[in-house]
A and B are shown apart, each in its own frame.
Chain A
Amino acid sequence: MTDNTQPAVRLDQVSRLFGSDYAVQDVSLDVAQGELICLLGASGSGKTTLLRMIAGFDSPTSGRIMLGDRDVSKLAPSRREIGMVFQNYALFPTLTVEKNVEYGLRMRGWSARDRSRRVAEMLERMHLSAFAKRRPSQLSGGQQQRVAIARALAYSPKLMLMDEPLGALDKALKQDMLREIREVHREFGTTILYVTHDREEALTLADRVAIMRNSKLVACTPVTDLFHAPPTAYAAEFFTGANLIPVDRLPGAEDQGPAGVDLVASVRPRDLTLGVAQQGWTLQGTVADSIFLGDDASLTIDLNGLSVVAQVPLSAAAASPVGSSVRVAVERSTIHVLEDDRK
């Protein structure tokens, strides 16, 4: 981390009203230099609207957006020193790959020699040198996205915005691109704001994850913390796929959580085992479904109306086929008792 402790991006109570509906409501967030933050949320949560405001395509109804020490809330995108990558690549179809990557440099008045040097450099780093003279229509999806990234990073922007960039790619390609984006982040050290609805992408890439829900920012914590100590029930369910068990099923659990609110115990499928709990609770139920995962199996278990998912080794699953009665062990050490904020 550099000695410049000023945040790369500061959002100060940013809101966007459309008529009387909030698309984004009072979002405040600091992004440190060189950080990769994932803006994670379901569709309609406001993450894209927020990103567009940071890019400059829209202005907030109230609040401020600061990039470095500048208030850019009403500034045109061209003056914000940012780079952007879209889900549909948005490459310039009438220009070659070279000219696409060169575009930002041309707009900033770089000399022809500097431009060609930098373009060659970027193409090399993104493994695109062979395609320099091709048109975007002649490239595959993954190649097009790499061109888009090269184009965005060519003039070394202070901030890079990525709007669901892997949405149009198939699963295998996504994995490759995720690794490339990680490498790009490491190599260039750019601050990155990455919007997605896919929690696996967030897991792979993010330093911190900012969860958006219904136009509000619900949480912003480092990935590991989010995983092991989720701040709210929604975050736990959405991000980790945790089971949420009402505390009345686990007598005594409410002591572990805040007082005065509806409580729910979050426990990850991996932490549920079949058998008797050593220090916790044992619940009775029937196996409703069993899904083969390779090394493990995912069992959907019906506990008297409450459905939970347990991830168990194949041997355990084999002993408890669909329809059989099982005992589920919930260990005290594996649960997080949280406020139930799912409404």
Chain B
Amino acid sequence: MSSTRAHDAKGATRSSGWHPHLGPWQGLLFAAPVLAAIAFFVVYPLVQLFIQAFSDGAGLERFAEVFTNPVSVRALTTTIVDSLIVALIAVLAGGLIAWTLHATTRRWLRVLTWIALLIPFTMGTIVKNYSILLLLVANGPINSALLGLGVIDQPLQLLYTPIAVVYGIAYSLLPYAGLTLFSVFSHVDHNLIASAKVLGATRMTALRTVIFPIVRGGMLTTAALIFVLSLGFYVTPVLLGGLRSPFLATVINQQIFTLYDFPGASATAIVVLLIALVALGAAILAGGRNAGRQMLR
């Protein structure tokens, strides 16, 4: 075996020679804008949050405040509990929608479901919440209908309740859940259920024993994503929940615009981020990297 190599044997890395892609330095040039954006719009703000929260040395007290002050504790528990409910509803409803889109053969149903899925996406944040407000208000259609049918004799208090907030957030996040689950389901072979049925299973059993294990990871990751997104919601809790159903966002709103307590708001914001981080971490550990890749495709 000849060991005379005409060119220096640098092993896998060779500096010369044409390559279909750009080199690392040229790549860096093209990545410069986004790197600058990440530095200024992600790294710098997060650092500043901590600096603000710990300004004039009272940092640790402020964090303790978040967990002891009755108002913020209430907001904390409401945020976490309601977000869990939203995640559950979004995954169930989104899963049902995504499965219908994946499995149905009726064109009209598919078009209608697509429209239903995308409508919250296309309505603006304010418009969405305003329309829901109109729906739930004391003299709105729901109360009018229930009164008219004689089910109740006094209008229900639907607004400024957890129900309103959960409805609002789930409404906004349904498209995210539906689309990611549609992505997950689209990799499920149509023939799996048919095969299971031929082998004797009912539709439900087939779904439970064959399909569910495949999509379980993706559904968990979607739930985690919805939970994290729900944690940070601002407009819906403020508009539809008011002070009776406060989220941490409501507390932040007060701290910034009413109390001018910027360090306090920073501390609260950090708590929100920490909860989100924990949730994401738990989801990654439980679902594994594959679930994330399933969704991304």
Contacts and interface: CB of A to CB of B under 8 A. Distances in A.
A304 B7 CA distance: 54
Interface residues of B, number: 13
Nearest to B9: A62
Contacts of A228: none
Interface string A67-87: 000000111110000000000
A110 interface: no
Interface in B250-270: none
A59 B16 CA distance: 9
Contact of B14 (A56, A61, A77): A61
Nearest to A25: B1
A63 B6 contact: yes
A17 B11 contact: yes
Contact of B18 (A18, A61, A63, A75): A75
Contacts of A13: 2
B7 A26 contact: no
B2 A18 contact: no
Interface string B5-44: 1110101101011101000000000000000000000000
Interface string A274-301: 0000000000000000000000000000
A64 B7 CA distance: 10
Given A75-B18, A76-B18, A77-B18, A61 B2 contact: no
A75 B19 CA distance: 10
A308 B18 CA distance: 49
Interface in B40-58: none
Given A17-B12, A18-B12, A26-B1, A62 B6 contact: yes
Nearest to B18: A76
Interface of B is mostly: loop
Contact of B16 (A18, A57, A74): A74
A19 B5 CA distance: 16
Interface residues of A, number: 17
Given A17-B11, A19-B12, A59 B18 contact: yes
Contact of A59 (B1, B2, B17): B17
Contacts, number: 29
A74 B15 CA distance: 10
B143 to A, nearest CB: 55
Contacts of A77: 18
A59 B14 contact: yes
Contacts of B6: 62-64
A57 B20 contact: yes
A233 B13 CA distance: 37
Contacts of B11: 17
A201 to B, nearest CB: 27
A146 to B, nearest CB: 26
Nearest to B2: A13
Contacts of A74: 16-18
A73 B18 CA distance: 9
A13 B5 CA distance: 9
Nearest to A72: B18
Nearest to A77: B18
Contacts of A61: 9, 14
Contacts of B14: 59, 61
A61 B11 CA distance: 7
A299 to B, nearest CB: 38
B217 to A, nearest CB: 32
B12 A62 contact: no
Contacts of B20: 57
Contacts of B12: 17-19
A56 B17 CA distance: 9
B1 A56 contact: no
Contacts of A17: 11-12
Interface in A28-81: 56-57, 59, 61-64, 73-77
A216 to B, nearest CB: 11
Nearest to A71: B6
Contacts of A76: 18
A189 B11 CA distance: 39
A75 B16 CA distance: 9
Contacts of A18: 12
Nearest to A64: B6
Contacts of B7: 62
Nearest to A74: B17
A13 B6 CA distance: 10
Interface in A110-159: none
Interface in A1-36: 13, 17-19, 26
Interface of A: 13, 17-19, 26, 56-57, 59, 61-64, 73-77
Given A59-B17, A74-B18, 8 more contacts: A19-B12, A57-B18, A59-B18, A61-B14, A62-B9, A63-B6, A74-B17, A77-B18
23 contacts: A13-B2, A17-B11, A19-B12, A26-B1, A26-B2, A56-B18, A57-B20, A59-B17, A59-B18, A61-B14, A62-B5, A62-B6, A62-B7, A62-B9, A63-B6, A64-B6, A73-B17, A74-B16, A74-B17, A74-B18, A75-B18, A76-B18, A77-B18
* A-B interface, 9 closest residue pairs, ranked by CB to CB distance from nearest: A59-B17, A76-B18, A74-B17, A62-B5, A74-B16, A56-B18, A57-B20, A19-B12, A59-B14
